[in-house]
Amino acid sequence: MRDELNQKRVDRLLGSLKDGVLLGDGANGTMLANYGFERQPYDLANLLAPTLVQSVHEEYFDAGADFVETNTFSANAVKIGGLNFDIAELNREGARLARAAAGDNRLVLGAIGPCGKPLEPIGSLKSDEAFAAFAEQARALDEGGVDGFMLETFIDIEEMRIAAEAVASVSDLPIIISKAFIEDGDALAEGLPGRMALDMGMKGVVAVGANCVVGPQRMIDIVRQLSEASSLPILAMPTPGLPQLVKGQVVYDIAPDYFAKASVRLIEEGARIIGGCCGTTPEHTRKMREALDKGDIKPKSPSATTRQQVERKPIEESEPTELSEKLKKGKFIITVELDLPRGLGVEKVLKSARQLKIKGADLVDISDGARARLRMNPLSVCTLIQEQVGIETMMHFACRDRNLLAVQADLLGAHALGVRNILAITGDPANIGDYPSATSVYDVDAIGLVRILSRFNEGIDLAGYSVGVKCAFSIAIAFNPLAADMDLEMDRLARKIDAGAHLVYTQPLFEEEHIDRALTALRNSNLPLFVGVLPLKHTRHAEFMHNEVPGIEVPNWLREQLANAPTEDDGLRIGVEAAQGLAKIAKERARGLYLMPPFGSAAIAEQVIEATQ
């Protein structure tokens, strides 16, 4: 049971939310940086500079704040677990410092931010790992003496749900939850703030709101939608405006008077909890307190404007790809991968694409920096092929070179240009390629990329905002039935399928048994299988593929035949005949042939294609 003093704090917080407007603090990090604490995350100051942290809280209270948030926004095991700090003690100390500044008569909210990594299937963070991190943090904050929790600056609504459930599982203190909404008029038109308020209200939180990203003027429309959709108290904690980069530091224009006036507007639109986010200081709090104390604000009654959730307009659907239409009709698909040269010379690729189209190929595959080699952006080449040759392409898309923002931006650009068949791959690390000092990003892997594409096909991006239409990506994935760790490979296959994959490519296969393995793995999914076939040129080619390329197995009988070939021409004939045999089997048992001719040779590809006709 909670002691009498703590229960009084809980009652006072809940009562304050019902009876008036609560004024919160501003940014902790801004103040700590101003006072010379340079180590990040700023949460570490709880243990490294506790006196400084407490003095910042005291400054906000002296400026007129009704509550402060603990300096624990990033203090979870996922975000800073590798820094060798005791996570629980970091949070307990953060709560103790805020409580010492607040005394017994003012409020302290335990600040909990997102984990900092995307959840599966977008990223690698498992839901139970996030749940455990949030629960650990909440338990320690409760032990430290907070009056309630502030879950803030969340982007992913699913992560918000997990955080709220985790906190409630270890504490019965009140929960306030706040999302960061991207400044986007279209997003507001879709009613996302209202849907979030209704969704989170069902989780038992005592208030919902928005913070960070946008300034006070842009926050007004968000608050209006929140208040119209929910009778819960609404929180609004904007930034002072748009940030700018000055001498390598992100700074905000300091305009406390303007900020205070704009905050009055937020109250009039329905906000009951106000404060500031990144870039705000005690001076902003002081000006807001002065505005509140004037007593001439006419707040809107929360219940007066409550209405039903905004209904989304039907989203227009994009035209399906030719590939998807052919698969629906049961056509056996032939796709050929063409190699890109270094530099700008794409004439050979275009010429080969024309030859293959005449020969009966349905698609041309273009890789994305395979083996981390520098090649032209595949989107450019795919666009040229589709426009100048008139054959659809399958663009390989690697996660290595792009962060989450660029991944989504590039995919939307590809869709707008008509490149809508995407093979989702994680990509080889940069350190094995032409520029080993280059940075590999990997914000997501192939599983996350499939989910992003699937979300676009639903008409929304990762943050839940509409992209205007339902995209029509055909989503391909890779599978290797000969992987060294088949348990892992099967697990990743299942997760890619769950994320929304439409068809499956295999690595180069050289035996009928290997095709059967792939078909068995896909037995329960009914996804189309495209069998990878690579015609070998000679014995050196075979030995290289077998011994130096992970996941490739060239059988002994084929390597022996190639080793005994009198000439390289004989070796090529043997390699092509073996590929033709597999192509015939693929046509009988699978839905497509993924042909990888050596050096992008259209002439060799044509010989294999003939065996399927």
Could you tell me if 34 and 75 are in contact, meaning their C-beta atoms sit under 8 angstroms apart?
Answer: no
pLDDT band at 453 (very low <50, low <70, confident <90, very high): very high
Least trusted range by pLDDT, from 106-110, 203-207, 595-599:
203-207
Average pLDDT over residues 549-561: 93
**What is the pLDDT, as a whole number, of residue 314?**
73
Does residue 41 have a cis bond before it (omega within 30 degrees)?
yes
Cα 325 to the chain's mean position, in Å? 29
Tell me: the pLDDT tens digits for 530-541?
999 999 999 999
At 304, is the pLDDT very low, low, confident or very high (cuts 50, 70, 90)?
Answer: very low
- Inter-residue contact 285 to 64 (CB < 8 Å): yes
* Four-point Cα dihedral 56, 210, 96, 290, nearest 10: 40
Residue 256's pLDDT is what? 87
Mean pLDDT over 113-133 rounds to 90
CB atoms within 10 A of CB 321: 21
Which pLDDT belongs to residue 305?
44
DSSP state of 593: E
Asked whether 582 and 512 are in contact (CB, 8 A), the reply is: yes
Question: Band of the pLDDT at 331, cuts 50, 70, 90?
Answer: very high
Better-scored residue on pLDDT, 224 or 575: 575
Non-local CB neighbours of 302 within 8 Å, separated by 6+ positions:
227, 230, 231, 232, 233, 234, 270, 272
CATH number of 4-304: 3.20.20.330
Identify the weakest region by mean pLDDT among 134-138, 309-313, 390-394, 564-568: 309-313
Domain extents in the chain: 4-304, 318-535+591-601
pLDDT band at 13 (very low <50, low <70, confident <90, very high): confident
**Percent of the chain with pLDDT strictly greater than 90:** 61
d(CA 342, CA 126): 40
Q: What is the pLDDT of residue 251?
A: 54
Does 60 or 202 have the greater pLDDT score? 60
Per-residue pLDDT, 117: 87
**What pLDDT does residue 6 have?**
63
Instruction: Give the residue-averaged pLDDT of 559-577.
Output: 94
Give the pLDDT mean for 452-473.
90
Tracing tokens 């039903």 back to the chain, one arrives at 308
Q: With respect to CATH, is domain 318-535+591-601 assigned 3.20.20.220? A: yes
User: Residue 3 above 80 pLDDT?
Assistant: no
What gap in Å lies between CA 99 and CA 70, rounded to an integer? 9
Of the pLDDT bands very low, low, confident and very high (cuts 50, 70, 90), residue 396 is very high
Whether the ω angle into residue 193 lies within 30 degrees of 0, i.e. cis, is no
Model pTM greater than 0.85? no
What was the pLDDT predicted at 242? 56
Q: How far apart are CA 76 and CA 232, in angstroms?
A: 28
**Residue 241 pLDDT:** 60
E-assigned strand segments in 130-171: 148-154
- Angle made by CA atoms 396, 401, 403, in degrees to the nearest 5: 110
Confidence of residue 414 (pLDDT cuts 50, 70, 90): very high
416 pLDDT more than 70: yes
* 185 pLDDT more than 60: no
Report which of residues 340 and 453 the model is more confident about.
453
Res. 510: pLDDT tops 70: yes
Q: How confident is the model at residue 188 (pLDDT cuts 50, 70, 90)?
A: low
Q: What is the mean pLDDT of residues 287-300?
A: 80
pLDDT confidence tier of residue 310, bands split at 50, 70 and 90: very low
Give the mean pLDDT of 192-209.
Answer: 83
Whether pLDDT at 151 is above 90: yes
What are the Cα distances from residue 592, in Å, to 407, 505, 525?
Answer: 28, 9, 16
Confidence of residue 1 (pLDDT cuts 50, 70, 90): very low
Nearest C-alpha neighbor of 419 from the set 323, 546, 507, 545? 323
**Chain length of the chain:** 613
Look at residue 244 and tell me whether its pLDDT is greater than 80: no
* The pLDDT value given to residue 307: 45
507 phi/psi in degrees, rounded to 5: -65, 170
Residue 306: predicted pLDDT: 45
8 Å CB contact between 112 and 149: yes
Task: Give 401-408's long-range contacts (Cβ < 8 A, gap of 24+).
Answer: 401/369, 401/427, 401/430, 401/440, 401/441, 402/441, 402/443, 403/441, 403/443, 404/118, 404/122, 404/443, 404/444, 404/462, 407/443, 407/444, 407/449, 407/452, 408/452, 408/456, 408/461, 408/462
pLDDT tens readout for residues 16-34: 777 678 999 998 988 998 8
Residue among 239, 256, 242 at smallest CA distance from 291: 256
Q: What pLDDT does 197 receive?
A: 81
Q: Which residues pair with 68 in a beta bridge?
A: 108
Quote the CA–CA distance of 511 and 519 in Å, as a whole number.
13
